[in-house]
Homo-oligomer: A and B are copies of this chain.
Amino acid sequence: MSDFSRYIDAHLERFHDELNEFLSIPSISTDAERAGDLRRCADWLAAHLRSAGVPEVEVIPTAGHPIVLGERLVDPNAPTLLVYGHYDVQPSEPEDMWTTPPFEPAVRDGRLYARGSADDKGQVHMHVKALETRLASNADTPLNLKFIIEGEEEVGSAHLGAFVKEHAGRLACDAVVISDSSMFSPDLPCITTGLRGIVYTEINVRGPAHDLHSGSYGGAVVNPANALAAILAGLRDEHGRATIPGYYDPVREITEAEREDLARLPMDDEAFCADVGASELGGEEGFSTLERLWYRPTLDVNGLLSGFTGVGSKTVLPGTAMAKVSMRIVPDQDPLEVVEAFEARVRELTPPGVTVEIERFHDGAPWVADPGHPVFEAARAALTAGFGTAPAMIREGGSIPIVPMFEETLDAPVLLVGFALPGCNAHAPDEWLHLDVYRRGIAALAALYGEIGDRIESRGG
């Protein structure tokens, strides 16, 4: 047993008590009435960073909720690691669906149930305790540590980008580590090396100036809901592929090495399907489930609205029909090129007799790590030390816009090492954190700080 594990086990009860305190503060960022709780949560975290060994900690106001900034600068020639996380949480509704109250942490079957336990207060706390553990163990590799823990991740990190730009000098670092992602299973630590990007649009089809009687006008006036269905269906072919010209051209082929990595993962399609409650899985032909989720782009309808949607029947020929349509994109697709080709295809599919307007909402580029960078060797070594198993390289089908933001603004690689688990109910009732993963993850992170200190060259030195 390593020194780290010995220290963690000796102090685990206190770690749990502290985490419970942290999780008891209802830091729901979307709720304006909780602003005081957010502030209280930031102050709690600042105090605990200080007592863990971060001498300089500030709670910095933003136009939204405050950002906690910590600095432990030990050696100008040592490399610098920036830890990002967030202390705000999702709303807890519907509260009556929780087995125990969302802000009264409770342990059942080795899991800690509370809002924020997995996303992301539990994982932030693991970093705080990793630093305490490392310092208590007299580990000697010098590393400068910086912490930036925000309070608005669940509401879109509205003020983070500007803050990082404004404080880019102070946040300068050689790598960024973010623990806000998942492992594949409790015994398999993971490094997330790729994220899909996104292009999100709204299509509005307009026909007659207002709703008409479907008897008096049906058959003579082009129905925007019929037209919308034809457009949406025309955007996909019978093989589950988008019909946008050129859409797949920039998509990187999956390499043999990547296919071998995927094959090693304990993926169980049947369990996955049962977990989502679908009758069977589907999608683009010719690819496995994980390939479709991580390596292939999508085209999904996210919302539909037209005409009469109440109970029963109303004989209306709708004046308009709306669809939200988004595409998850992958390297090397470009969001702007994708949205322009998409719009051209939608116009091509629009029948005479209706007009179409397309609104562009947010977009984000796909992201893929450079797995040859030494930060990944460091993470592999640390996770192997903490969990007794070499980590798997995985990807995530979703988009995390702050990842490319950090990489671009600070010109430093981002390492995604997360400790949530599949089915942890991150945005749902009964969110939970696996307590043995919490314990082993702290050890892994304490090791990570050392491995990065050993393996990374300081650019500032």
Contacts and interface: CB of A to CB of B under 8 A. Distances in A.
Contacts of A362: 313
Given A279-B353, A282-B221, A353-B278, A316 B293 contact: no
Interface in A104-145: none
A277 B289 CA distance: 47
A344 interface: no
Interface string A419-446: 0000000010000000000000000000
Contacts of A225: 232, 300-304, 323
Given A234-B233, A280-B352, A306 B315 contact: no
A183 to B, nearest CB: 14
Interface in A194-222: 196, 198, 200, 202, 207-210, 212-222
Contact of A233 (B232, B276, B361): B232
Given A283-B222, A303-B309, A396 B361 contact: no
Most B C-beta atoms less than 10 A away, residue of A223, A236, A351: A223
Nearest to A324: B308
Given A219-B298, A313-B324, A313-B326, A318 B303 contact: yes
Q: Assign chain A's interface to a size class.
A: 35 or more
B308 A397 contact: no
A35 interface: no
Contact of A354 (B217, B279, B283, B427): B279
B309 A221 contact: no
Contacts of A218: 293, 298, 300, 328, 397
Contact of A397 (B219, B233, B277): B219
Interface in A213-262: 213-223, 225-226, 228-230, 232-234, 236
Contact of A226 (B209, B301, B397): B301
A398 B215 contact: yes
Contacts of A223: 300-301
